[in-house]
Amino acid sequence: MPSRTDRPESQWRLVGAVGALVAAGYGLTLLIFYPGIMTFDAKYVYEDIAKGTYGDWQSPVMTWLWGVIDPIAPGAASIFLLAAALYWLGFGVLSVVEASRGKRSALVLPILALLPPALVFVGIIWRDVLLAGCWLLAASIVCAVCGRPSSARRPAQWLAFALVVLGVLLRPNALLAAPILIAYVIWPQRMSLRRTAILFVPAAIGLFATVQLVYYGVLGATRQHPLQSIMIFDLGGISHFAKENQYPVTWSASENTQLLNTCYDASQWDVYWRLAPCDFVMRKIEREEGLFGTSAISNAWLRAIGRHPVAYLEHRSAYFWNFLTAGNLTMWLADIERPNQTVFPDRAAFNALVSVHDWLKPTPLFRLGAWLLLCLVVCGVGWRRRDTREGVFALGLCGSATIYILSFLFVGVAPDFRYGYWAVIAGIAGAFVAASGWRSGDSLET
């Protein structure tokens, strides 16, 4: 293995060119988005920082993290700078690994990072973006140290592991996808189905316990029962398809007719929560009966699935098909302080990106089903080369992204494109590395 000082000058020039492209990409991201786009979800988190409280509807870890870094650049700017740094560090490290092998294809990856389905979300304050940045950087770090002596490799693996756990703490529904990425962090040179399967359940249990410990033990977060939003959505869907009320309350005749026939929307649970005319559902369950957050909802949910499994699957399939194929919410453009206006109306770079986004939005690039399909294809390529470092990398990223997307079949309550953002990032990086290995016919060298 050649030492760093033995590398030819042309190789160093390539690494320098890649570094310049990554730096330019980061600068362009700042030019387009700074100080970041605040969403309503982000606003609620930021308000909790001021109150000094933690709730578990959003991630209390995001509240804590944002509070720690907020003095650097108060408001949206601090968390935006972090998200953009994670994003470009992840792609940057991976690009440098490729460049250090003398591969000119390394110049392509920073350009792929500018693809609209990836770039348009980097400046929007959503924890989905932070999750993807953490996980991409974790995988890239491991890729960079793969094959090195344990004295250099082990600290990097521990850092990568911490980034994977942080992603789960930001997005607990990523719990089932994380073990595949953890398997890559531990065994980056060869994928073994047997040992990954053995790892899966203990890792998932450990991550679940970590979420409970950090959320409620360390941070003392208030339980706001986000899981019951899934149950409310499912009870509405089962009621619609079974044509029989499944909620643990009694409705008036007109409300019952609406519930069974016109309320249901396969794309979101908000129709039962805050959207007229069917907001009567949560008004009665939460405010009048005080049942939200109690075992009455959980018991009704279990009973409804047991009695009407076909209706449950019809409802879940309808949601998931919409999640994968519909033209769902992508960019957030509203100024939350002035909802009738868009953010950055006079910023040319931002408006140019919005125009490109609007042009591409009807295409498969902004359909999560297309990215799920890409991840499945990359997994197939990676599996054939699971004894190479490129193959294991592709399987780690795209395997976790596939499981992450598929988990929404059972836990999704809204169809926004951002919920599958990890599949976009994993698909781009995984496909690039898989293609690089397939072309060269060798494995990553460091």
| Residue ranges per structural domain of the chain | 227-316
Amino acid sitting at position 108: V
d(C-alpha 352, C-alpha 118), whole Å = 16
User: Rounded mean pLDDT of 321-340?
Assistant: 93
Strand partners, 119: none
- Stretch (H or E) spanning 341: strand 338-342
pLDDT of residue 434: 92
Residues of 140-164 as b/e, b for ≥16 C-beta within 10 angstroms? bbbbbbbbeeeeebeebbebbbebb
Dist. CA 181–CA 193, nearest whole Å = 13
**How much is the pTM?**
0.94
- Number of residues in the chain: 446
pLDDT given at position 300 = 98
The alpha carbon dihedral of 393, 398, 399, 403 has a sign of: positive
- The string of pLDDT tens digits covering residues 49-77 is 999 999 999 999 999 999 999 999 999 99
Closest CA to 101 of 37, 173, 15, 174: 15
pLDDT (average), residues 356-385: 96
Say if residue 10's pLDDT is above 80.
Answer: no
**Average pLDDT for residues 243-262, to the nearest whole number?**
97
What mean pLDDT is predicted for residues 197-201? Answer: 96
Name residues whose C-beta falls within 8 Å of residue 324's C-beta, 6 or more positions apart in sequence. Answer: 367, 368, 369, 372, 405
The pLDDT, as a whole number, for residue 7 is: 58
d(CA 226, CA 2): 53
pLDDT at 439: 55
pLDDT confidence bin for 151, thresholds 50/70/90: confident
Q: Alpha-carbon distance 375 to 1, whole Å?
A: 32
Tokens representing 304 are 């409804």
Summary mean pLDDT of the chain: 94
* Predicted local distance difference test score (pLDDT) of residue 431: 96
